Amino acid sequence: MKTVFFTLLLLLSITINNQAQDLSSIANQFIESLDPELKKQACFPFDHSERFNWHFVPRERKGPTFHDFNAEQTGQALDLMRASLGTVGQEKAAAIIELENVLREVENRPENDTYRDPLNYHFSVFGKPSSNKPWGWRLEGHHLSLNFSSAEGTITSATPSFMGSNPGIVLTGPQMDRQVLADETNMGFELLHSLSDSQKEKALFADKAPADIITSNDRKAKLLSQSGIKGSDLKADQLLLLKRLVGIYLSRYTTEYHSQLINRIKSTGWENMSFAWAGSQTNKVGNPHYYSIQGAGLLIEYDNVQNNANHVHAVMRDLENDFGGDLLQSHYLQDHLGNNMAHIND
């Protein structure tokens, strides 16, 4: 019954388009709804090492889950998720969580199984939510890791941002043919297939797709070695496809944060964005494939390799500002070095 209640509440909650940038009041309402023990589990200092302990596989995690929440707390947690994402991001996050029920059926697991569990998603808050001081929060579980940093009432970072889909396409059962990350897949192939043979020679870097996204859950992502084909080597209609593909990833975010990233790309030039491909060029289950997009300090990776190439991983990294990198540095300088100087002056 709790799973049914949760799913209905989640689906109902995403119908409200909440695009607030200042998340502090919503986050504080969530925290205040928790009892002392749950607060202790959920709250960490802003620069705590747990902030960087992220992953997208089933594993033990910090922070309370929907199993721990009552109806009010569940609603507050979902309000925070909803306020942090654009409508598309909300819908995809909900669909990824719901896929845990599909995996239970595919893998013949019992209804109360905790390995594939739509309630096993963890909420963690880093620092005191404030309109004028840095803080952040994370929602994480299987195939979903959403990391947000905020300062001065603005989302300054929403990366690493990982979304996965297993199955990539549901092949049996009542949700047959459902494809949660269809846009990421289909637009990638559309761009690839628009390339001429000479352009593909620049874009393709390997006949075999990597086993997974190359950056995995690295604390700090770096530019990848594959150079790919640059926007400057694309025709106008092909460049438009690249813009649409990037836009699919940016559509996860709030309008304001989406605009921040688009402006970064425009300032460095779409001609300097690159697209690289590896693996099969056939868009069917059973054909492993991978692509990356790099430029403007951003990195997108997509792969569909596992489970007979029916298991999608898609991540966006900010090479300059994952986990609110600039905020962390200023926080350290202000709080740590400032305190040390005060001690010296004493």
pLDDT in tens, 32-62: 999 999 999 999 999 999 999 999 999 999 9
Q: What is the mean pLDDT of residues 172-179?
A: 95
Closest CA to 76 of 132, 141, 125: 125
Please compute, for residue 49, the number of CA atoms within 13 A of its CA located in the half-sphere on the CB side: 0
146 contacts 253 by C-beta, under 8 angstroms: no
On the 0-12 / 13-18 / 19+ scale of CB atoms within 10 A, 80 is buried
The residue type found at 13 is: S
Judging by DSSP bridges, how do beta strands 122-126 and 229-230 pair with one another?
unpaired
Confidence of residue 7 (pLDDT cuts 50, 70, 90): low
Long-range contacts of 335-339, Cβ-Cβ distance < 8 Å, separation of 24 or more:
none
Name the DSSP class of 312.
E
pLDDT of 308: 98
pLDDT score for 192: 98
In the chain, % of residues over pLDDT 90? 85
Residue 328 reports pLDDT greater than 80: no
Q: Is the pLDDT of residue 190 over 50?
A: yes
Query: Does the pLDDT of residue 339 top 70, yes or no?
Result: no
Token digits for 143? Answer: 């195939």
Q: pLDDT of 120-131, one tens digit each? A: 999 999 999 999
Residue type, 182: A
* Sign of the torsion angle spanned by Cα atoms 314, 217, 266, 132: positive
Nearest to 314 by CA among 214, 172, 193, 204: 214
Q: Are 273 and 246 in contact (CB under 8 A)?
A: yes
Predicted confidence band at 96 (pLDDT cuts at 50, 70, 90)? very high
> Which of 129, 175, 165, 171 has its CA nearest to residue 148?
129
The answer to whether the beta carbons of residues 225 and 206 sit under 8 Å apart is: no
pLDDT higher than threshold 50 for residue 341: no
| The pLDDT of residue 182 | 98
Residue type, 60: E
β-bridge pairing 274-279 and 298-304: unpaired
Tell me the mean pLDDT in the region 282-311. 98
- pLDDT band at residue 13, thresholds of 50, 70 and 90? low
Residue 8 has pLDDT above 50, yes or no: no
pTM attached to this predicted model = 0.92
| pLDDT reading at 346 higher than 80 | no
